[in-house]
Structure 1
Amino acid sequence: MVLWLVFALMMGAAILAVLWPLSRPLSVGGPSTGEKSFVKDQIREIERDVARGFLSPAEKDVAIAEVGRRFLKAVANEPSKSPAQGELALRRRRAASAVALSMIPLVSLAFYSLRGSPHLPAAPFSDRLADTAQMDLQQAVGRVEAHLANAPEDGRGWTILAPIYMRMGRSDDAVRAYTASIRLEGDNAARRAGLAEAQVMSSGGLVTADALENFKAALKLEPKLPKARYYVALAAEQDGRVAEALSLFRELRGDAGQDDPWVPTVDTHIAKLQRNAPAEAIARLPDAERDEAIRGMVAGLAARLEADGGSIEDWVRLVRSQIVLGARAEALAALTKARERFKDDETALARLAPLADALQSSSDKLP
């Protein structure tokens, strides 16, 4: 709507620019402004001569009369427009006005329909800026690629291109660029870690053996490099080495600055590993100690829910754990409390129903 309003204003301005000269009245017969000014200047000059004593009052009248005579003669000799000429000019002006009013909008709309894009949806200015930036980036990459096609041993070009490939999501090309950069420009921690990260992206986020070796090589060159330390910890997490991964992530978090952008990601991994760490530790215990540890965890969960209430997920986990441990009386009591707590929540009661069925299969009866 705004666009069409702008178009209407522009068209009105164009029409006004054509009609404005046509609306000005034509000059008619009579003395021109220049001739009138000339006469006034002559009379003022005569009056100054009289004031200076060059002319007498009688000579002043004669001089003014002479100026008037010349003026009347000039007016008499100036051609005047006939009524017929004025009528013809008026018709021409009206015709030109009609053409301007009709042709300018028609020509403008026809040109826009041929050269414009009226079928395209409106795009926010920020999107157009993003498209322009992406286009500029692709053009720059194309120029560097064309240069490297003719000069493949230009290590500086590969070094520039590698991180750009990563930003564009072209991880396979980034692996190739980082490999060429290391070969031609020499090895350092940033290039080695960049190559390893590109390998991780190429494998769908999995820290492969090759990528892990490259990260460890980067840490030998720069032991505190955050990117390499993060992916080494991630490799431990992906391998199921929870305690090792948690220790590595905590060390990385301890060395972080307040404004480091990767801190929230590391915190997320730490929280996840902390939830899994007790289960892993319990699984390593001997059978007797493992059962005792599990019972202690379940008792701790029951005490917390008794004090703080908890969510439906916590209550479901408690009842299920007690059923697995064979503590049916405790499971029945916890289920009864959960039903009372969530009696107005149909969704929560639906999640408790399978647990009630499991308890009803035994000799214990629900009230």
Structure 2
Amino acid sequence: MDNWLFWAVAGATTLGVGFILLQALRQSATASDDGAALKVYRDQLTEVDRDLARNVITAAEAERLRTEVSRRLLDADRALQSAAPKGGKGSALPATLLIAALLGLGLYAYDRLGAPGYGDLPLATRLAMTDDNYRNRPSQAEAEAAAPAPEPVKTDPQFTELMTKLREVVKQRPDDPQGLALLAKNEAQLGNFAASRAAYQHLLQLKGDSASVNDHLGLAQTMILAAGGFVSPEAEQQLIVVLERDPANGLARYFSGLMFAQVGRFDRAFALWEPLLREGPEDAPWMEPIRAGLQEVADRAGIKYQLPDAKGPSAGDVAAAADMTPEARQEMIKGMVGQLESRLSTEGGPIEDWLKLINAYGVLGEADRAKTTADQAKAAHPDQAAALDAALAALPKGPSTSDVAAAAQMTPEDRQAMITGMVDQLETRLFTDGGPLADWLKLMSSLMVLGDKPRATAAYEKAAAAFAGDTEALGQIEDAASTAGITP
């Protein structure tokens, strides 16, 4: 719309609104409350005559009521006559000036604070702008150059020495896939994301079509981290490969949603993130960033959405109880889990809460109750049976936190012998033969519950080495270590 036309329409609208307001004020001035009272009193006189005709009141009472109502009627009529000049032309002048001042102030404020002359911005134009943002976003090299330097990660001298040796080995044997995978993982752990990205790129060049989904996902993740959280076109290509092979991959879906949010397509970001939040699991690395950003994404996409509250104890809550005495820890855990179980049994709840309860029972070592909870959840959410079965399958095995807490009832010697025996057996088996990720996570947690941080740290490093190249597993290991307070 041309600038002059806009102001013509705005001025005409302003004058029209002012005229309507002025007319309303003038009508209000002539129709006083006393005028309305006259009608009420006349109706009361008529009602007195009706009551007398129906013998509801006596003649004497009717006469008394007529006298009283007539007196009030005369008083109201005199008040109305004396107020008549208020409806004259002079009384409209202040109201007219006030309306004109308010309308003029509105136009002045818009001229200073608004955007007069700014063109229309229809949906098609806005989508075209986001498409332009998408096509012209910085490359990986540009994003890395602009990204702030990562915070240095403190490591012990032994780990630093191992990294020096590893870098030298890879330099001597640059085409060794195993060495490249280990280097990429450990460089990322140290915050050297650009070096990790370079190692992953060379690894994928060597593997070619045989590169796994985790190889492509690892490269995408380190690209994004090296770019300070920005999803470049090169990182997007790796995410596309991952989702073509594994459409349900949670981390790739999260990063794809992040990319759409960065270019302004909040509707697409919401379509990717909202299902991830519903599906869980609660301890997935993308859950917290999605929960922190999904409401804003929905608001900016124009989607009516209310972020669900996270209720109940998490795996981190249960692990944090390791700092308490066994008795206090057991009471706290029972209280939290009991409250969540009671609410879900009586009121039901979202699938995230059921998964959280199953996970809590797994951490407590109560596999039977976890299975019963999963059956109840399937009845409430039959479409989530696969996710519930996966949660049961992922429950840790080996000595549980409840096993350790139960040892508080024994003598100190027996308790120490039992705990040491269980944990030693699990540690020996994993260090010798390896094992599933859940067992490594349980070993780390059990050692921290026992207060043996050096062995827990060693278990963490062994687990990280065992799953080098598996970005998703490494993410769970890092999360478990962070929750338990393990530092390399």
What TM bracket, shorter-length normalisation?
0.3 to 0.5
More contact order relative to length (CA 8 Å, sep ≥ 6)? 2
Q: Which has the larger radius of gyration?
A: 1
What TM-score do the two structures reach when normalised by structure 2? 0.29
What TM-score do the two structures reach when normalised by structure 1? 0.39
